Amino acid sequence: MNTERDELFQLMLGRTTTKAVERILAAGYSRHKQVSTVAELDALPTESLVRSEQGGVWHKEASGSGCVWTEPGAQWWHWATDIALPAMVLYSPVVAK
């Protein structure tokens, strides 16, 4: 069975029907993706947003030397190795479709 379907059903503790779970999934429910390695961060597309394990929000930007990560409002950029992992993907252009 579908893991998300099972998780939603368990969260609702059977208070609803399987059909309601199907409708929720069809409406676009999904859990945020977690990344746990620098390689996974590097694989995210430009313009992605993640929340680090320490709670900081990071934005992936293109630069002359490849891709860098910035915290909104900050003047400095960082490499993916500077982000505390695991991190939750808050937005990714590919996921958002």
On whether the CB atoms of residues 90 and 30 are closer than 8 A, the answer is no
**Whole-number pLDDT of residue 66:** 80
Q: What average pLDDT score do residues 81-97 get? A: 85
Nearby residues of 72 by Cβ (< 8 Å), 6 or more positions away? 57, 59
Q: What's the pTM value of the predicted model, to 2 decimals?
A: 0.68
Query: In this structure, are 26 and 39 located in the same domain?
Result: no
Query: In this structure, are 18 and 53 located in the same domain?
Result: no
Q: Which residue has the higher pLDDT, 75 or 17?
A: 75
Listed range (20-34, 52-66, 68-82) with the worst mean pLDDT: 20-34
On whether the CB atoms of residues 42 and 82 are closer than 8 A, the answer is no
Query: In this structure, are 49 and 87 located in the same domain?
Result: yes
Domain that holds residue 19: 1-30
Quick one: which of 93, 96, 97 has its CA closest to 45? 93
